[in-house]
Chain A
Amino acid sequence: MIALRLHRHIYRGASVDEAVKIFTSYGTFERKEEPESWLVEVTTDDPQRERRIAGELANYALGLTVKAGGVDPKATAST
């Protein structure tokens, strides 16, 4: 299992959700929230495949965040 921590000040929550939705057929994903980050636990049957899917998921979430113009400052004002 790979635990992917995506910082709230850098990754939009909606982008992470959308990325998880896109990759849901490639493995098992569990999404949790931490005070400073979005936590996505990625599980597949092969470690190499796990690394690849976790990396692609992170890239996809980053791409969606960049495309959306970054993180809304109001959403992260409290953290």
Chain B
Amino acid sequence: MTISALSFPARLTQMQAVVDGFPADLCTVDVAKNSVELRVESGLYPLGALYGAAYIFIDRCYVLLGRPDAAHLSVSLAWKKGTPDEVALRELAGEFMNELLSCAWRAKISEESRSIIEAVTAQAFAGAMGAPSLDDLEKFDFSDGAFEDPLGIAMSWEDKYGKKKSGAAPSDGATPPSAEAPPPETPGGAKPEAT
């Protein structure tokens, strides 16, 4: 006796039956052997997803994975205990395919968000290392040129909205007011008294 789930015959044997709702070339049920055989495209379902789905079923079934050709993967699910009827085997096949689809989708999401997760993790580890020491700061290379700021976003508030400085001294020779200069006279002509 040989477990030959890795090869799918072109013509089904008498013991094998097509499952309702499944394409005939993708899923067959062998009631005599209490097993379901599935064939999936490796382009649609990566091997990692197949591992994930198969792992969930190894407590209920004997799971045997195969690769009949480069473009396909095969799954043989053999019932462990008891003798299931065709309906139970159909449910098993459907449940497995749903789980496989779920695993494939999760694998795709994980692949797409891998770079984000790595960046966040790297930042978290960098923060956990603590503040840099004085030696680290001393060795830090500040010679890098300033970053480009074509929109002037990096300009400070004082530079942008502060009072404009008078660029050059007045040309008529007048000296700028200083703190030591006498206070201006009041409109009535009287000087304010010191308190």
In the assembly, what is the distance between CA of A10 and CA of B73, in Å? 10
Tell whether, in the assembled complex, residue A47 and residue B67 are in contact, meaning their CB atoms are under 8 Å apart.
no
Residue from B2, B62, B73 within 8 A of A3 (CB atoms):
B2
Q: Nearest residue in B to A7 (C-beta to C-beta)?
A: B67
In the assembly, what is the distance between CA of A2 and CA of B4, in Å? 10
Residue from B6, B48, B52, B80 within 8 A of A55 (CB atoms):
B80
With a CB–CB cut-off of 8 A, which chain B residues contact A47? 1
The reply to whether the CB of A37 lies closer than 8 angstroms to some CB of chain B is yes
CB distance from B31 to the nearest CB of A (A): 16
Residue from B52, B62, B67 within 8 A of A9 (CB atoms):
B67
Q: Nearest residue in A to B57 (C-beta to C-beta)?
A: A59
9-residue interface stretch from A16-24, A25-33, A61-69? A61-69
Whether A62 touches B63, Cβ cut-off 8 Å, given contacts A70-B47, A70-B51, is yes
Q: Nearest residue in A to B59 (C-beta to C-beta)?
A: A59
Tell whether, in the assembled complex, residue B6 and residue A59 are in contact, meaning their CB atoms are under 8 Å apart.
no
A1-17: which have CB < 8 Å to B?
1-7, 9-11
Q: Nearest residue in B to A67 (C-beta to C-beta)?
A: B55
The reply to whether the CB of B64 lies closer than 8 angstroms to some CB of chain A is yes
In the assembly, what is the distance between CA of A8 and CA of B107, in Å? 22
Whether A56 touches B62, Cβ cut-off 8 Å, given contacts A2-B1, A10-B67, is yes
With a CB–CB cut-off of 8 A, which chain A residues contact B55? 62-63, 66
Q: Nearest residue in A to B34 (C-beta to C-beta)?
A: A51
Interface residues of A (CB under 8 A from B): 1-7, 9-11, 36-37, 47, 50-52, 54-56, 58-59, 62-63, 65-66, 70
| 29 A-B contacts (beta carbon < 8 Å) | A1-B1, A2-B2, A2-B3, A3-B2, A3-B3, A5-B3, A5-B66, A6-B64, A7-B66, A7-B67, A9-B67, A10-B66, A36-B67, A50-B1, A51-B78, A54-B62, A55-B62, A55-B64, A58-B3, A58-B63, A59-B58, A59-B62, A62-B54, A62-B58, A62-B63, A65-B51, A66-B52, A66-B54, A70-B47
Interface residues of B (CB under 8 A from A): 1-4, 6, 47-48, 51-52, 54-55, 58, 62-67, 73, 78, 80
